[in-house]
Amino acid sequence: MKCASKALRSEVDLAIKKQHADPTFGINVGRQNNEDSVGLTFSIPLNIRNNFSSEVKAASEIALSAEESFKAEYLEKLQLIIGSEKVLFEYEKRYLHWQSIAKMALVDADTLLEKQWKSGDISTTDYIQLLNQLSDGQMVGIELEQKWKLSYIELLLNEGSISNAISNL
């Protein structure tokens, strides 16, 4: 976008330079009726009606418009990145919290529950119901991990650095 901005600035500079017409000077050499002739011409343009200010103004407006479009797009991308970072950190925090509380408890609960069922401390119906609750807890963890990783991918996409991340795998 910087190259486009430089090009538009160059157009503005060119339009400003065209605003003032330069005088011209010419020499004509030739023969006329068997006589050598030399002619001199000198021209000074008078900018009475057209001072080219509209071209300068138009070029300036185009350059300003392009610059503002760039700024708007930049700010939009920046907000997307900031939002993606916040989502990523929130999912990461929730997943790590779940992991610290539930993951180890779920593994131990599974074996403890099976021992209680085999020894007859709990009924088969209670055992199945408790296994379903354990699996629901594990599903919550899997979903949190999935959302966390997807939000990371979203951040990489918004930053435009997904190809760098893939090449580092």
Does a structural domain hold residue 29? no
Q: Does residue 145 fall inside a structural domain? A: yes
What is the three-class DSSP state of 45? coil
Is there a domain that residue 148 lies in? yes
Question: When comparing pLDDT for 145 and 13, which is higher?
Answer: 145
Q: Is the pLDDT of residue 48 over 70?
A: no
> What is the overall mean pLDDT for the chain?
82
Which has more pLDDT, 17 or 91?
Answer: 91
Is a pLDDT exceeding 70 seen at residue 47?
Answer: no
37 confidence band (pLDDT: 50, 70, 90): confident
Scan for tokens 């991990």, then name that residue. 145
141 lies in which domain range?
2-20+52-167
Tally the domains of the chain: 1
41 domain-assigned = no
Does 68 have pLDDT greater than 70?
A: yes
- The answer to whether residue 26 sits within a structural domain is no
Q: CA-CA distance, 40 to 42, in Å (whole number)?
A: 7
Residue 153 counted as domain residue: yes
pLDDT tens, 49-63?
666 677 778 888 888
Overall average pLDDT of the 143-157 stretch:
92
pLDDT top residue among 105 and 148: 148
Residue 19: pLDDT band (50, 70, 90) is low
Q: Would you say residue 41 has pLDDT above 90?
A: no
| Tens-place pLDDT, residues 74-110 | 899 899 999 999 999 999 999 999 888 886 677 678 7
Q: Return the HEC string of 109-168.
A: HHHHHHHHHHHCCCCHHHHHHHHHHHHHHHHHHHHHHHHHHHHHHHHHHHHCCHHHHHHC
The arithmetic mean of pLDDT across residues 104-133, rounded, is 85
